[in-house]
Structure 1
């Protein structure tokens, strides 16, 4: 029987990061071992929640290992463009999505090529990028250009204008803050098969209370060791940007996970991280307010008081 996990009452009060470490420990010690899509195998539990107050610039940035927050920020800004090709990410040295196209290229061509050389070729060759850098209609495409269809003649339908969910949420928060429909959804059932990876952080809902913008993120599948530190930063970052655009103060960021898991080949990382204790309270300063939610640049964000412990590495399950 699967069990529900709540980490709002940590055995280690005080630092926000104990919620994350408690979740990691519980899944590693009590999780059910299961074979998964990747063939690696996981320890998994079902149902988790963490809550983080973003007042005064606070962010849920993990300190017990280095999290490359600029890389996660570049990914979020890329999502907001609606782009679905990794070329622009690779050009910035952001390789978050390169594993999947690289694996497809090696599998389908039989050509052995390093990840580094593959990425360089994506950047240098537009035709190669068009053939091998495309991810399908992943996150950003659904966020800013969800497909719509309208009736045509003879009972047929033609493609209509794309739906920009992000713009709709910002406009809704400005004009109707008490609505319960401030949602950004990535799980487009009709297009899942065309995606390199169906959305894990799939649903964002926003709520306004006393001038503060709260956000709840539901993540259907969560790689605790590698993915979750990025997801926590990115979700809170999106909340901060939307709050600024809507003229609101940042409130609480609520993260909810469905299948929360640790890969069996991440044992060294998990055991090392669970020996560490969090320290410090990093903050984010959003230096500039652009005219639009789509106008932010990487230089608009500055993190202070972040002194993480050394990086911990483990293989990505593709």
Structure 2
């Protein structure tokens, strides 16, 4: 597992850049689901201290943290249709339903036109904008089934894993069962994309809330900066809701890869140096973790280098 110790005086972002360099230099070149090809390693770990508002917000290229935040808040609503994201200008899930629409209808509609129809036509969005039972559905409404005397099963009440973890952190902080799981094996074939950041485990020590995220599949260049921000943000929100101080985010990756068509991004980003130490202020405490809004979050001291565009593999 890639987990080389980082000297205490090293910028926290350097471990991300070191992981990118390792995957690019040492990764096994493989074919993959998208047909693009990757360089991949098995197993990696990153650790970030979230004390004093610190956040793992990448500075060697601009990361649109508001977009990642809106996605997390969308997960917490339990919504699985992209329309609420589209109406906020969030584009990160658009390619998957667009690809499904083109495949199933044979209509070679441009992505921008498809997204416009999602925004303007609610019925069209209901038919073509749904992603299946992805993250938010599993997090807040994990399906259950009850056995009946006639030998059949009937649908039971869904499980809100997020609410249950908040309650367990408040009432039983020493538990080893503070887990939010997205990998519902029975429903994977109905998801536009099975969960990549699949398992969150929370841990309380000395009044601090730690989070370990296991990510089965990780696109280091495009996905990981969003995943680190979102996991750290969720940890900060959970800490506020449970009266704990933010602790450490521990990220663990399974198939950790870079796409071969991202060479320009990788080489450019690895030539840059981290700058500044961004922090997050949660401006107000909401009554519930499900009530936060985008205006509740303010990032300080974020002066990143310019963005680096690269195609998303679908």
TM-score tier, shorter chain, comes to over 0.9
| Comparing 132-141 and 113-122, the one that deviates more | 113-122
Deviation at 1:104, TM superposition (A): 1.2
Q: Which residue of 110, 113, 122 corresponds with 1:117?
A: 113
Counterpart of 2:251 in 1: which secondary structure?
strand
Q: Determine if contact 1:169/1:184 at 8 Å carries over to the other structure.
A: yes
Question: Cα deviation per residue 1:161-208 (whole Å; 9 max; x = unaligned)?
Answer: 000000000000000000000000000000000000000000000000
TM-score using structure 2 length: 0.98
Which structure 2 residues correspond to residues 58-137 of structure 1 after superposition, within 5 A? 58-137=54-133
* Aligned residue in 2 for 1:211: 207
Provide the rounded CA distance (Å) in 1 between the counterparts of 2:8 and 2:195: 32
**1:239 has 2:238 as partner:** no
* Aligned residue in 1 for 2:263: 267
The two structures, once aligned, show a CA RMSD in angstroms of 1.0
TM-score using structure 1 length: 0.97
Question: Cα deviation per residue 1:264-310 (whole Å; 9 max; x = unaligned)?
Answer: 00000000000001010000000011100100000000001000000
Gaps of 5+ in 2: none
Q: Which residue of 147, 161, 172 corresponds with 1:176?
A: 172
**1:255 has 2:246 as partner:** no
Deviation at 1:13, TM superposition (A): 4.6
Question: Cα deviation per residue 1:1-39 (whole Å; 9 max; x = unaligned)?
Answer: xxx2114x1379520000000000000001000000000
* Aligned residue in 1 for 2:282: 286
Question: Cα deviation per residue 1:33-65 (whole Å; 9 max; x = unaligned)?
Answer: 000000000000000000000000000000000
Q: Determine if contact 1:12/1:18 at 8 Å carries over to the other structure.
A: no
Provide the rounded CA distance (Å) in 2 between the counterparts of 1:251 and 1:54: 6
Counterpart of 1:155 in 2: which secondary structure?
coil
Q: 1:46 to 1:77 in 2, by over 3 A?
A: same
Counterpart of 2:313 in 1: which secondary structure?
coil
**1:6 has 2:18 as partner:** no
Gaps of 5+ in 1: none
Provide the rounded CA distance (Å) in 2 between the counterparts of 1:276 and 1:210: 37
* Aligned residue in 1 for 2:48: 52
Provide the rounded CA distance (Å) in 2 between the counterparts of 1:112 and 1:257: 36
Question: Cα deviation per residue 1:208-244 (whole Å; 9 max; x = unaligned)?
Answer: 0010000000000000000000000000000000100
| Comparing 120-129 and 202-211, the one that deviates more | 120-129
Q: How many residues align?
A: 314
Q: 1:252 to 1:12 in 2, by over 3 A?
A: closer
* Aligned residue in 2 for 1:161: 157
Counterpart of 1:80 in 2: which secondary structure?
helix
Deviation at 1:113, TM superposition (A): 2.2
Q: Which residue of 125, 135, 138 corresponds with 1:142?
A: 138
Deviation at 1:103, TM superposition (A): 1.1
Provide the rounded CA distance (Å) in 2 between the counterparts of 1:305 and 1:117: 37
* Aligned residue in 2 for 1:185: 181
Question: Cα deviation per residue 1:109-164 (whole Å; 9 max; x = unaligned)?
Answer: 22222222211110111111011101000000000000001122311110000000
Q: 1:218 to 1:177 in 2, by over 3 A?
A: same
Provide the rounded CA distance (Å) in 2 between the counterparts of 1:119 and 1:133: 9
